Amino acid sequence: MNTMALYLIGDVQGCDSALQRLLDEISFSASRDTLCLLGDLVNRGPDSAGVLRRLMTYGSAAQCLLGNHDLHLLALSQGVRKPGRHDTLDNILNAPDRSAMLDWLRWQKMAMFRKVDGHDLLMVHAGVLPSWTAGQTLALASEVEAVLRGPALGDFLQQMYGDEPNGWNDALTGSDRLRVIVNSLTRMRFCDIRGHMDFASKEGSAAAPSGYMPWFDVPGRQTAKITLAFGHWSTLGWLGRSDVLSMDTGCVWGGCLSALRLGGAESSGKVTTLAHELIQIKCEQAQQPG
C-alpha cells in the first residue's frame, strides 16, 4: 500500500505531456500526495494551458510557486508587456477559460515553507538574498502576493521590470521595494558578498562574473542552516546538498523534468539531513534558449 508522499518538481514551462509522464512515474495520487512546484509553470513549452488546467484540478495537492515566466504571463494578460519571440502563451491568452486560469495563477505563492521530518524547508523559484532570514523571506513574499491578488495588479506589473535597485535595503518602499523582492525570488542566480545581484549571466555556477558567486554560496547567508529548494537555473541543473536543492533540469531545453521525493532522515556522522529520492523523465521538448 502506497503511503503519502511529498514531491518537489522543477520548472515545467508548459511541458504538460512530460509532467503527465512524470506523475505516472511516481504514481501520483491527488487524494494522497502533495506536489510543490517551484515556479515557471508556463511558457516556452507546447501546452502551458494544459499544465495550468491539470494543476487546478489537483486542488490543495498541488502547491505552486510563481516564477518569472508566470509573472510574464500575468503582465501580458494585463497588456503591460508585449509577447516575446519565444513565448508560447497564446493557448492561455486566447482560451475560453482564460480568466479562470489567470485568476488561479494570481493566488499562487512567491515563497513556501514546510517542516519535513523536523527539517526546515524553504522553497522559492530562484533565490534568497543572503541577508534575509527564512521568516523575512516569507514576509516579503507575502507583500508581493498581496499586490498580485489586489486591484493594483496592472500598476505593479507595469513597474515590476528592471534591474535596479540591485540589492536590499530595509528602507526601500513602493515599486523599488517590490522589484527587489521579485528579482531575488524569481530571477537571481549570482550576487556578491554585499548581496548585490547580477542578472546578465545565465551560465552555470562556474561562470560567475568577477566578484560574484552563486547566491547560495555567499558567506554568512542567513538561510544556510535550513534546506532551500529552488528552480530557475537550468544551466546549474540538479544539485543536492544538505542546504540546497536545485531542481531545474532543463526539461524545455531537451533535458529532464525532475521530481524529488522527500521524507525520512539520513545520518552522516553527527549530521542528520533530509532524505530525498530523485526521479527524472526525459522531456521530448527541445526549445532553443533565448
Which CA distances in Å does 62 have to 51, 84, 134, 180, 208? 11, 28, 22, 27, 34
pLDDT of 273 = 73
Establish if 265 belongs to a structural domain: yes
pTM above 0.85, yes or no: yes
Percent of the chain past pLDDT 70, that is, above it, reads 94
Nearest partner of 244 among 139, 142, 116, 124, judged by Cα? 124
- In-domain check, residue 167: yes
pLDDT of residue 284: 76
pLDDT by residue (tens digit) across 107-148? 999 999 999 998 999 999 999 999 999 999 999 999 999 999
Q: Is residue 99 part of a domain?
A: yes
Residue 142 included in any domain: yes
How many residues are there in the chain?
A: 290
SS3 for 16-55 is HHHHHHHHHHCCCCCCCCEEEECCCCCCCCCCHHHHHHHH
Range of the domain at 204: 6-282
Return the C-alpha torsion angle 115, 101, 233, 23, nearest 10: 60
Sole residue written with cell 540591485: 166
Question: What's the pLDDT score for residue 275?
Answer: 82
CA distance 258 to 255: 10
Query: How would DSSP label each residue in 152-205?
Result: THHHHHHHH----S-S--TT--HHHHHHHHHHHHHT--EE-TT--EE-S--S-G
Q: Is residue 226 part of a domain?
A: yes
- CATH number for the domain spanning 187: value is 3.60.21.10
Q: Which residues, at least 6 apart from 179, have a Cβ–Cβ distance to it below 8 Å?
A: 159, 160, 161, 162, 164, 165
Whole-number Å distance between alpha carbons of 250 and 118: 31
- Taking CA atoms, 288 is separated from 18, 44, 227, 247, 285, in Å, by 18, 9, 32, 20, 10
Position 19 in a domain? yes
In which order are the strands placed within the sheet that holds 256-268?
62-64, 34-37, 6-9, 256-268, 271-282
pLDDT at 1: 42
Asked if the structure places residue 40 within a domain, the reply is: yes
289 located within any domain = no
Question: Which residues of the chain fall short of a pLDDT of 50?
Answer: 1, 267, 288-290
Q: How many structural domains comprise the chain?
A: 1
- pLDDT value, residue 274: 81
Secondary structure element (H or E) that encloses residue 103, with its range: helix 98-106
